[in-house]
Amino acid sequence: MSYYYSIPLVNEAELAQARSVLGTGLARIIGYFREDGIKSIDQLEAALAKRDAAAMVIPAHRLKGESRQFGAQRVGEIAEVIEKTARRCVEQRSLPDEVAGEIAMLRGCFMETLQLLGEAMPSPLATDEPLGESRINPRLMPTSIARSGGLR
């Protein structure tokens, strides 16, 4: 598993490319990534508990693709290994136990990646644009702010 730590969490050049293409929409895409990623990781953990390789393929594939769209390299690489191994296990009718380590490290890596992506995003407060409901996604705010109904 130490191999994964040699892979950067986020490739800055790929993130910059996504930022130039998506502009202010990048924050929205990262919000979707957060929601979908958590669901995918939940599904992967449940599939591992059931030792169900077939149930790992789609969430791993989804997480791989979404991660790579803006340079989340480490999560993308881990998800790819899980996907490839799960596909092989399905074909060989074997158990997916060998990806238990990858699945175990995935949630922590994902959360660390989200934190880094959040830090890489310009703050909405740093712009001259007015702060409207459409500009602020509560899922990207600290929990205390989101629960209070947003910034006032």
Query: Which of these, 58, 107, 48, 50, lies nearest to 78 by C-alpha position?
Result: 107
Range of 61-65, 123-127, 144-148 with top mean pLDDT: 61-65
- Residue 1 burial (CB count, 10 A): 9
Q: How far apart are CA 30 and CA 39, in angstroms?
A: 14
pLDDT of res. 70? 85
pLDDT of res. 134? 39
> For 41, phi and psi rounded to 5 degrees?
-65, -40
pLDDT of res. 119? 81
pLDDT of res. 2? 74
Q: What is the pTM of this model?
A: 0.77
**Confidence band for 132, pLDDT divided at 50, 70 and 90:** very low
pLDDT of res. 118? 87
Query: What is the pLDDT averaged over residues 5-16?
Result: 94
2-121 is a CATH 3.40.50.1580 domain = no
State pLDDT tens for residues 46-98: 999 999 999 999 999 999 999 999 899 999 999 999 999 999 999 999 999 99
State pLDDT tens for residues 44-56: 999 999 999 999 9
Does residue 126 have a pLDDT over 60?
no
